[in-house]
């Protein structure tokens, strides 16, 4: 029987100067915790000496209660793919995630796990004293504010890599695009209990960050997609139809204004830009409505053609 309690998933890409120390740090914490655990390293197509250095570090630090595994992706597929591979192969009841660049502190794992025991499905780190540059911190806090207010995800630092999640909370969705940053939102929107605690954050000493400032826009775009799919994936025509009806309604109002200007002010339609705006709105509205119909057709092909239920797979027990 599988007795592994905790799987630590660590994706890395070109982290040759960080992995030896990282492995040492993680192993030290896991040994203190004492449970049977595994570390799953995912090499996301590193081109430097990462793999060699990791192998040496693992050889030096072997303990029977801690198993170390390596998943090697054939090329650099990105942190999301690497994280997904780690999730697929991890066997623990609880999965822990962190970066390989020594910015996260594995000493936070016991605290995160204690919080999880209080009855949560996921506990996400909050880098309250984040040690990235000011610009990045500003962008990130703005995005997080938007995510809290606009999308209702109750977290201050959704992009924080260090987190612990119960396996059962990771089953109802797939990771696409750059969703590794959105795992907490995906879990939360699936109905799981998600909370956060403050964690340590260290500056990156070796290697360089793989992302620029534009990641913030990607997060927002991805969130809109997920929210749309999670709330309207069985009824897309409500969204498109509503937009279509609103456009047609606006066109009606503009046409009334056009008629008023024609009959009471003597402005002929060929001289009235409002008339063009009305035509534009009529066409756009029709497009929206037709797009909704097409989206409904696609949804039916998706659910009926692939025989998918329209609800996420629930558990069933006798009462
Ligand atoms: N990473 C990865 N594949 C990539 C880019 C990054 O596996 O294509 C890993 C990287 O090695 C690190 C983690 O993902 O362990 C976070 O990356 P990074 O430190 O560049 O992100 P930041 O801390 O700047 O958000
Ligand atoms: Mg980093």
pLDDT of residue 308: 86
Cβ–Cβ under 8 Å, residues 180 and 80: yes
Q: Is 121 in the pocket of ligand 1 (CB under 6 A)?
A: no
Q: Which of 74, 140, 159, 210 to mutate to test the pocket of ligand 1 (most atoms within 8 A of CB)?
A: 210
Angstrom distance (rounded) from CA 151 to CA 296: 24
CB proximity list for 260: less than 8 A, separation 6 or greater: none
Angstrom distance (rounded) from CA 2 to CA 309: 30
Q: Is 103 in the pocket of ligand 1 (CB under 6 A)?
A: yes
Q: Which atom of ligand 1 is nearest to the CA of 10?
A: 15
Using alpha carbons, select from 300, 85, 59, 100 the residue that is nearest to residue 207: 100
H helix runs in the chain, sequence order: 19-33, 50-60, 79-89, 109-117, 134-151, 183-189, 215-232, 236-265, 273-300
**Rg of the chain taking only CA atoms, in angstroms:** 25
What string of pLDDT tens digits covers the 319 residues of the chain?
Answer: 578 999 999 999 999 999 999 999 999 999 999 999 999 999 999 999 999 999 999 999 999 999 999 999 999 999 999 999 999 999 999 999 999 999 999 999 999 999 999 999 999 999 999 888 888 888 889 989 988 998 889 999 999 999 999 999 998 889 999 999 999 999 998 899 999 999 999 999 999 999 887 888 888 899 899 888 888 989 999 999 999 999 999 999 999 999 999 999 999 999 999 999 999 999 999 999 999 999 999 999 999 998 888 887 777 888 8
pLDDT of residue 1: 54
10 CA from centroid of ligand 2 (Å): 12
Cβ–Cβ under 8 Å, residues 145 and 159: no
Please state the φ and ψ torsions of residue 263, each to the nearest 5 degrees.
-85, -30
Q: Is 50 in the pocket of ligand 1 (CB under 6 A)?
A: no
Q: Which residues neighbour ligand 2 (ion) by CB within 5 Å?
A: 99, 101, 103
12 CA from centroid of ligand 1 (Å): 6
Residue 304, SS3 per DSSP: helix
CB proximity list for 205: less than 8 A, separation 6 or greater: 17, 18, 102
103 CA from centroid of ligand 2 (Å): 6
Instruction: State the ligand closest to the CA atom of 54.
Output: 1
Q: Is 41 in the pocket of ligand 1 (CB under 6 A)?
A: no
In the sheet with 37-43, reading across from the earlier edge strand, the strands are 66-72, 37-43, 6-12, 94-97, 163-166, 122-126, 194-198
188 CA from centroid of ligand 2 (Å): 24
pLDDT of residue 310: 87
Q: Is 196 in the pocket of ligand 1 (CB under 6 A)?
A: no
Q: Is the pTM of this model over 0.85?
A: yes
Token couple for 276: 């063009």
One-character DSSP codes across 17-39: TTHHHHHHHHHHHHHHH-S-EEE
Residue 252, SS3 per DSSP: helix
Angstrom distance (rounded) from CA 125 to CA 102: 15
Q: Which of 8, 10, 11 to mutate to test the pocket of ligand 1 (most atoms within 8 A of CB)?
A: 11
pLDDT of residue 265: 96
pLDDT of residue 306: 87
One-character DSSP codes across 84-128: HHHHHH---SEEEE--SSS-S-GGGHHHHHHHHHTT-SEEEEE-T
Instruction: State the ligand closest to the CA atom of 161.
Output: 1
């Amino acid at each position: 029987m599988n007795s592994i309690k905790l799987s630590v998933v660590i994706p890395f890409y070109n982290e040759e100067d960080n992995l030896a120390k990282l492995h040492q740090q993680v192993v030290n914490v896991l040994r203190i915790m004492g449970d049977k655990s595994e570390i799953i390293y995912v090499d996301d197509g590193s081109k430097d000496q990462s793999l060699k250095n990791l192998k040496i570090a693992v050889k030096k630090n072997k303990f029977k209660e801690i198993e170390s595994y390596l998943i090697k992706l054939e090329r650099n597929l990105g942190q999301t793919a690497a994280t997904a591979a780690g999730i697929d192969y991890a066997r623990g009841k609880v999965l822990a995630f962190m970066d390989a660049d020594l910015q996260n502190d594995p000493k936070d794992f016991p605290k995160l796990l204690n919080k999880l025991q209080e009855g949560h499905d996921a506990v996400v780190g909050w880098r309250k004293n984040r040690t990235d540059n000011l610009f990045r911190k500003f962008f990130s806090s703005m995005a997080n504010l938007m995510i809290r207010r606009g999308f209702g995800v109750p977290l201050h630092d959704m992009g924080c890599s260090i987190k612990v999640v119960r396996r059962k909370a990771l089953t109802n969705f797939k990771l696409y695009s750059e969703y590794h940053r959105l795992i907490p939102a995906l879990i939360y929107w699936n109905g799981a209990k998600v909370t956060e605690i403050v964690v340590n954050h260290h500056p990156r000493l070796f290697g360089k960050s793989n992302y620029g400032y534009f990641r913030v826009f990607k997060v927002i775009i991805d969130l809109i997609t997920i929210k749309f799919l999670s709330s309207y994936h069985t009824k897309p025509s409500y969204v498109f139809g509503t937009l279509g009806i609103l456009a047609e309604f606006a066109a009606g109002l503009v046409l009334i204004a056009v008629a008023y200007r024609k009959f009471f002010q003597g402005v002929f339609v060929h001289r009235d830009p409002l008339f063009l705006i009305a035509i534009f709105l009529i066409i756009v509205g029709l497009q929206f409505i037709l797009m909704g119909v097409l989206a409904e057709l696609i949804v039916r092909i998706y659910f009926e053609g692939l025989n998918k239920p329209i609800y996420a797979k629930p558990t069933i027990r006798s009462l």
